[in-house]
Amino acid sequence: MANAFAYIDGQLHAERLSAHQLAEEYGTPLYVYSRAALTEAYQSYVNAFTGYRSKIYYAVKANSNLAVLNVFARLGAGFDIVSSGEFARVLAASGKPHDVVFSGVGKRTTEIQIVLEAGGRCFNVESLDELERLNQIASESSQIAPISLRVNPDVDAKTHPYISTGLRANKFGVALDDARAAYRAALGMKHLRIEGIDCHIGSQITEIPPYLHAIDKILELVDQVEADGSSINHIDIGGGLGIRYNNETPPDIGTFVRTILNHFDRRGHGHREIWFEPGRSLVGNAGILLTRVEYLKTGTIKNFAIVDAAMNDLARPAIYNAYHKVDAVTPRDGQLPATYDIVGPVCESGDWLARDRSLALKSGDLLAIRSAGAYGFVISSNYNSRPRAAELLVDGARVHMARRRETLLQLMNGESVLPD
Ligand code: LLP
């Protein structure tokens, strides 16, 4: 499925279903995901590493809806999690503990216990302090924790500063200069078993050289660490591959994977297991957000299309100044377009979804905000007491209600007024 969200007879479709009908039936704002697009992205990774010992650990944070996780679990994916909440979701979506790697700078004791007890595949440890805590927890339950160290290779992924993670100034990972000593320390901890090494240099990365640069640094370290007596079975190169939101030209998944694997081969490390932790490149373009125009407001400086989705539904523009394409679900032929800022009802000037877009609109029209499958719903909030949107997973001509629209009762769940 080259494009799961395409126009058929002048109407935007999600696979074989009309977006207009979906919005009519399920209301807006509405996230719509395509099973075919999720599957195709996953298969692009798998096809590209056929013949290698590679595995995908889908970064759950990008989109943790159970239906989405279940699609990947059925395809045989592993999962990269950063909390016991994500772990619970993976299990609920029939993922297996043994296919889970646990990342994150701030794993809590109870979270470590839960994942260790269940038989998690690997802990991506981010500090010496965490190594010690993990060893302690494992010893208390007479277990051996499988570990890899997340190394911060200090390379510039050339992406937005908020989503660049592999620089010395970032909070993530063990600094490259300290990593050899950290592995030595881990060797001396009886309840840890060294399995591999990992890094993650950032997100929405649109070129390959920063990865190769990071890999070179990691491989140098691998040689040193193995000389010290550890054995490194797998190298996890993290996620981060970018997608096309607008005019970006990221490598396609196949090219990306093959370039990385060839690089390992050339460096004499092709025999190792190579793990990938992609999030956005698997789900980003597999989702759209449907929203309805409530009001059009023509000003002297700007025109506004005020829609029923807001920064609480899709925060990426407000947080990262991110660009998402916006298309009319049923384009109006014969009406001259005007330039609009697409904004939501939230009481903040930062509440915008798109700026300066040329569209022919009338109030009541439906818009599709593209590339909303990654870091869309998962970052949504209830700000302004707005119930969170519904999520659908479309599969051919079938609809699966992946998450019902939140109700006002759910919105206040757990809260109470003062006693008399
Ligand atoms: N592995 C680790 C350890 C990560 O921290 C991340 C993302 C991933 C994998 C997946 O990266 P991806 O393939 O999705 O780039 N909210 C931001 C993105 C934050 C990414 C955080 N880490 C956004 O909306 O652009």
Positions marked active-site: 347
- Residue whose CB lies within 8 A of the most ligand 1 atoms, among 55, 56, 61, 321, for a mutation test: 61
Predicted TM-score of the model (pTM)? 0.97
Q: What is the pLDDT of residue 401?
A: 98
- Protein residue whose Cα sits closest to atom 16 of ligand 1: 375
- Domain ranges for the chain, please list them: 5-33+284-411, 104-276
When the candidates are 3.50.50.60, 2.40.37.10, 3.40.50.1370, 3.40.50.720, the CATH number that belongs to 5-33+284-411 is 2.40.37.10
- Protein residue whose Cα sits closest to atom 19 of ligand 1: 163
Measured in angstroms, how far is the CA atom of residue 371 from the centroid of ligand 1?
A: 15
> Omega into 29 within 30° of 0, i.e. cis?
yes
Q: What is the pLDDT of residue 35?
A: 98
Q: What is the CATH number of domain 104-276?
A: 3.20.20.10
At 302, which amino acid appears? Answer: K
Measured in angstroms, how far is the CA atom of residue 307 from the centroid of ligand 1?
A: 28
- 226's CB contacts (< 8 A; 6+ apart) are 232
Which ranges constitute the DSSP H helices of 196-285? Answer: 209-227, 253-266, 280-283
Q: What is the pLDDT along the chain (420 residues), one digit of tens a residue?
A: 568 999 999 999 999 999 999 999 999 999 999 999 999 999 999 999 999 999 999 999 999 999 999 999 999 999 999 999 999 999 999 999 999 999 999 999 999 999 999 999 999 999 999 999 999 999 999 999 999 999 998 888 776 666 666 566 677 889 999 999 999 999 999 999 999 999 999 999 999 999 999 999 999 999 999 999 999 999 999 999 999 999 999 999 999 999 999 999 999 998 999 999 999 999 999 999 999 999 999 988 999 999 999 999 999 999 999 999 999 999 999 999 999 999 999 999 899 999 999 999 999 999 999 999 999 999 999 999 999 999 999 999 999 999 999 999 999 999 999 999
Nearest atom in ligand 1 to 202's CA: 15
Nearest atom in ligand 1 to 379's CA: 16
- Protein residue whose Cα sits closest to atom 22 of ligand 1: 203
Measured in angstroms, how far is the CA atom of residue 62 from the centroid of ligand 1?
A: 7
Measured in angstroms, how far is the CA atom of residue 319 from the centroid of ligand 1?
A: 14
Q: What is the pLDDT of residue 171?
A: 75
Q: How far is CA 353 from CA 289, 307, 341, 343, 397, in A?
A: 11, 9, 8, 6, 29
- 173's CB contacts (< 8 A; 6+ apart) are 126, 149, 150, 151, 152, 165, 166, 199, 200
Q: Which residues line ligand 1 (CB under 6 A)?
A: 59, 61-62, 80, 103, 163, 200, 203-204, 238-241, 277-281, 316, 320, 374-375
Contact 393, 33 (CB under 8 A): yes
- CA dihedral sign, ordered 144, 101, 126, 64: negative
